[in-house]
Chain A
Amino acid sequence: MKNRRSISSLLAVAATYCFLFSLIPWVAARGVERTRALLVHEGIPRDDAGAAAAFEAIIPVLHHPRCMNCHSKGDFPRQGDDSHRHTMQIRRGPDGKGVNAVRCSTCHQDHNLAGLHMPPGAPDWHLPSPAMPMIWEGLTDHQLCELFKDPHGNGHRTPAQIVEHMHTPLVLWGWTPGDGRTPVPTSQHYFLAKIQEWAEKGAACPVDVDAPTSETFGFPVIPITSYKPTFGPE
């Protein structure tokens, strides 16, 4: 009797898992507009392992210079594939848009300009403000995810709003960054799908290598290590 119940519950869980995973290609195939429309509460059950895995999948994007150059430590942005400190004493400033009369928009337009070393551009080019600097450099995967979710640190956004934010032109710029800059190698489609999935499945965070494994649905979550770039001195 006991055996049959535990087997059936196992099967139920497995079926759920399979169902959830089968959603991924369906969701991805729907395109960006449709994924934006899906909300966590629309009947998709919480899935911590799935969410964590989805977040892990986008870590390489977040660590790529196209993102990291504006989410690094310090009161200044970085530039280039080698992530050197932005030249010409450019700083974050009190609102993330520069200091005094020298603003991001002093040079950056709302679109890229053709040619090597010309200023890149996207609408509303700016850094996070110092009040919520969204510094990702030096964070573990878990910490990064927690920062993403923390309304006090992420611009008062819910996971759904985070997903929306990822569709803004400034973020998507990472895939068309202009001459001489390597675009984010992970496909934009995949990235958006994964962030969507993470939000829908309850936005759980991956554990770090050293952390004790947590148990979800009776299965241990296998922690995934990820690439942490190091930055040289300023």
Chain B
Amino acid sequence: MSKTVLEKDKNNLESNEAKAPREKLFHIAKRMDVSLQYKIIVRVISIVTALLMCAFVLNIFKPGKFFTIFSSSFNALTGSTNKFFITLDEFAILLGISIAILPAFKMKFWNLGAEGQILIGGLAAVLVSKYIGPYVPNVLCTILMLIFAIIAGGVWALIPAFFKAKFNTNETLFTLMMNYLAMGFIAFFEQVIDPAHGTIAQLTNGTFPDATDNVKTIIAFVIVVLMTLFMFGYLNKTKHGYELTVVGETRNTAKYIGINVKAVIMRTVVLCGILCGIIGYFTVLKQKSISPNIIGGKGFTAVMIAWLGHMNVVEVIVMAFLVAFITRGSSVAATNVDLGSAFTNITIAIFLITILAFEFFLNYEVHFNKKIFKSKKEVKEVEE
């Protein structure tokens, strides 16, 4: 009798299982420990995939040109002295901006205003060159340009930082809006300086018009290298760097331990602004002018670089180099196969999104439901 009861039970169970909602195929769990080895592997796979995706997209536009993007990228790096310097310039600017926003990001102050801070620094340099330049020697003029660029960038950054510290306003929107304000300022001064054309003519005072672009690129690169070294030390070895990390991690712990959170926020963001001002200065030095679109969205690309570099100086250097590499590569490829300049933007977007998507594997692990897979296997075996 007991046997029949058991069988009945079994039948019941089976019918119930059929009725019950489907079990989940897999579930996702947060990763606690990530070994360096695993991290590097995921990163390499993500970068290779990202490159392949870019090549694939190019292949869609121009069939048969799958490998062009790789050859172009290397061509952009080593093809000629000129091309090399253009790539170096791209790398220097991207790395410079990424490094500049790094302390704010480490403090979890999402400064999207790098672009505005650079523009306003650049504008200050331009105004110095235009209105003070004629009355002072060239060297003094360029020094004054740098000083005013630093002050302007710092003050521009201080505004959102002050409101964040004092009233806890949202820094993301605030800094973003400040970008458009900075652009508006430049458009305004373009009109003031040259009402007829609405652009700022090539500046001569303090911009070393005789020096070649390549020399200026080298100077910019050296400054960025110095900035990077400074930032590495600042974030990892100094009391300031320690304080801003604590503030970024838990504001309450910082408060309990007696860190002046408001002061740290303002100090750190002003440092970002100062570094952005420096970048603004050497942008003006090279372009000898300024316009609202002179940075061309690099402020936002740098945000991605800092984020993908996990706010770590070494990783940021690698990421900045890769992005510069692929930007220049796709730009060369676009000219080679006769595509518009928008192609560059498409490739960067695809490249960054692919790498960002792979972050998932660094943060989470996927567990498949062994039961379902087993039962499917069993079903297959039975069928065979």
Do A and B come from the same complex? no
